[in-house]
């Protein structure tokens, strides 16, 4: 089943509800299709969705078409990764981190 896990694509219309109602920790990737580091990070996000399936919800939101959500969270640069637990921001990373750093951060995020 985890082989079919993919990041959830959110919009301004459904992001707030997903963040509020998520029953697992949530990693939200704010990205833009025109951003080179975002395109580099995309396969990593896809792998993380499979690797952490059932333990973390991995989602993404395109800031070029969903400006309300980006503005609400003060996104000034992409990629920006925001970690949520129980609807609250618990951490934020700006920029594309290496795979192993993201895996370590997610493992720490799950344990906290």
- Active site includes 55? no
Q: Choose, from 22, 35, 57, 70, the residue flagged as catalytic.
A: 35
**Distance in angstroms (rounded) separating the CA atoms of residues 35 and 33:** 6
- 75, two tokens: 């996104």
Whether 35 is a known active-site residue: answer yes
Helices 36-51 + 99-111 axis angle, to 10: 50
Beta strands in the chain (DSSP E): 8-10, 26-31, 57-62, 80-85, 88-94
Q: Per residue of the chain (112 residues), give pLDDT as tens.
A: 555 689 999 999 999 999 999 999 999 999 999 999 999 999 999 999 999 999 999 999 999 999 999 999 999 999 999 999 999 999 999 999 889 999 999 999 898 8
Q: Which of 38, 42, 96, 106 is catalytic?
A: 38
């Amino acid at each position: 089943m985890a082989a079919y896990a993919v990041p959830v694509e959110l919009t301004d219309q459904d992001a707030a509800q997903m963040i509020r109602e998520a029953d697992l920790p949530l990693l939200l990737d704010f990205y833009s299709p025109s951003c080179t580091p975002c395109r580099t990070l995309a396969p990593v996000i896809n792998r993380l969705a499979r690797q952490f399936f059932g333990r973390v919800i991995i989602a993404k939101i395109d800031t070029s078409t969903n400006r309300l959500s980006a503005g609400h969270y003060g996104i000034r640069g992409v990629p920006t990764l925001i970690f949520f637990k129980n609807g609250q921001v618990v951490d934020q990373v700006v920029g594309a981190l290496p795979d192993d750093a993201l895996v370590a951060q997610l493992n720490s995020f799950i344990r906290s």
